[in-house]
Amino acid sequence: MAILEGIQIQNYRALKDVTLGKTIEDKYVNPLPRLMAVIGANGCGKSTLLDALGFVGDCLSDGVEVACDKPHRGGFERVRTLGVNEPIKFEIRYRENPDERPINYSLWVDCDINGRPRVVRERLRQRRKGQRFGQPHPFLDLTNGSGTVWSGESTDSEEGNKSEPIRMKDRQVLGVSTLGTLSEHPRISKFRRFLSNWYLSYFVPQLARTQPTSGADPHLDRTGENLAKYLQFIERQQPKGFSAMLTRISKKIPGVRAIKAIRAPDKRLLLEFDVEGYEDKFYQQDMSDGTLKMLAYLLLMEDPDPAPLVGVEEPENGLHHQLLSDLALEFKAFAGKAKGPQVLITTHSPNFVDALSPSEVWILNKNDSGHSNLTLAADVSGVMELFMEGLPMGSLWYSNHFGIANP
Ligand SMILES: Nc1ncnc2c1ncn2[C@@H]1O[C@H](COP(=O)(O)OP(=O)(O)OP(=O)(O)O)[C@@H](O)[C@H]1O
Ligand SMILES: [Mg+2]
């Protein structure tokens, strides 16, 4: 199970310099937990934080120019922190599994004199086997498209791993994207797989009402638009487990007695809802936004092969406040599963964070220069003590104990 131990983001919109968890630059903090929430006032940078994670994935899959030019980003100069001339920088620390040595990845993106984004620095570093002290050694080191890569599982020369010079032809493409497809670079391949599979959810209930004519998708997509195809996939994979899963889920959605999958005459899979107070059945397109949203999150958590990192933006929108603590506990259980992902949630809901501890909640706030600061709730004076006395996180937040982050 791959783990993101920490990430530092510099010069990405309002995130001039924020660190979440442990990085090579700051080793004396705890690695990121399985479940995390980020709270803070409007405009403090919560969506930006999730978008920054999506940006790294987009750089990997589409190249840095396409990533910057996505419609919601508007190009490199809008993405880089205004007033700054340095590159956008990411420092990522991850472990392929708890027994492996951590890998540190640095990525710098800048623009050329014509304003075209390009990769200016990329470095992957890891300690050698048995090395307990000192700096990790690079096994990919690229500056302005030229550098060195070390093949194999280790950088130890006695293990027969060799270094070779490399030169990137396309400055928009990440070195880890190209080299990660080659079998002689297993560490880069694993890291590439880890980065490329992050999942960010921006659920749009209306889109989940669509019923495609056919098809099966192994994972729910960002907006939930492929909900029907995702269901189709699970049903084909595990027909017996599928109806048990629907029964399990129906118990967690208020007002719903049962959910059954039925086959329409044209072979499409339809969800049939048995709703309290009605003899007649309802179908996916009849259900309320909140019900569909809850259904989508619960289905996401049934994914047999989930993404290593799942980011969810404001799950509370459209959901009744009493459901939110339960939903938070569901996410906690999901993140705690043996093959579960790490889950990062942005929220405005005190009810949601009630299920979390001060080591799982970060507070974003803007400083006087208009840049975001990120603080772990456990580091805010007095918060840990009050929490230990029995005050839940939401109450602490609501009663202004976080001080910062409240407008
Ligand atoms: N290039 C940039 N440089 C500096 N700041 C920027 C840049 N682009 C956008 N911003 C600022 O970043 C902030 C956007 O924050 P974001 O949308 O992430 O907030 P949020 O915490 O998600 O707010 P909400 O709770 O309202 O959704 C805005 O204040 C905006 O002015
Ligand atoms: Mg937002």
Among all bound ligands, the one having the nearest atom to the CA of 73 is 1
Q: What 8-state DSSP symbol labels residue 23?
A: B
User: What does the pLDDT read at residue 62?
Assistant: 95
What the chain holds in terms of domains, given with CATH numbers, is: 3-32+47-198 (3.40.50), 200-356 (3.40.50.300)
Residue of the nearest CA to atom 9 in ligand 1? 13
Q: Is 342 exposed, middle or buried (0-12, 13-18, 19+ CB in 10 A)?
A: buried
- Phi–psi pair at 136, nearest 5 degrees: -65, 155
- Buried-exposed string 124-161: b where 16+ CB fall within 10 A, e elsewhere: bbbbeeeeeeeebbbbbbbeebebebbbeebbeeeeee
Question: In the block, which residue shows the tokens 């005459």?
Answer: 265
Q: Give the C-alpha separation, 73 to 287, whole Å.
A: 33
Taking residues 39-57, report their average pLDDT: 95
Residue of the nearest CA to atom 5 in ligand 1? 14
Ion ligand 2 residues within 5 Å by Cβ = 46-47
Q: Tell me the best of 13, 86, 404 to mutate to test the pocket of ligand 1, counting ligand atoms within 8 Å of each CB and taking the most.
A: 13
CB-facing half-sphere around the CA of 51: CA atoms within 13 A: 17
> Which are the contacts of 324, defined by CB distance < 8 A and separation ≥ 6?
315, 316, 349, 351, 352
Cβ of 317 closer than 6 Å to ligand 1, yes or no, is: no
Which pLDDT tens digit goes with each residue over 355-389?
Answer: 999 999 999 999 999 999 999 999 999 999 999 99
Cβ of 40 closer than 6 Å to ligand 1, yes or no, is: yes
Q: Is the pLDDT of residue 406 over 50?
A: no
- How far away, in angstroms, is 116 Cα from ligand 1 center? 23
Least reliable range by pLDDT among 165-174, 212-221, 227-236, 390-399? 212-221
Which pLDDT tens digit goes with each residue over 147-204?
Answer: 999 987 765 555 556 789 999 999 999 999 999 998 889 999 999 999 988 888 888 8
- How far away, in angstroms, is 46 Cα from ligand 1 center? 8
> Dihedral of CA 151/156/160/164: which sign?
positive
Q: Distances in Å between the alpha carbon of 235 and those of 15, 248, 260, 262, 270?
A: 42, 15, 12, 11, 11
What percent of the chain shows pLDDT beyond 70?
96
Tokens matching residue 29: 């903090």
31 close to 2: Cβ distance less than 8 angstroms: no
Q: Give the C-alpha separation, 3 to 88, whole Å.
A: 23
Q: Give the C-alpha separation, 162 to 391, whole Å.
A: 56
Cβ of 369 closer than 6 Å to ligand 1, yes or no, is: no
- How far away, in angstroms, is 64 Cα from ligand 1 center? 21
- What 3-state class would DSSP assign to 304? coil
Q: What 8-state DSSP symbol labels residue 80?
A: B
Q: Is the pLDDT of residue 315 over 60?
A: yes
Q: How confident is the model at residue 405 (pLDDT cuts 50, 70, 90)?
A: very low
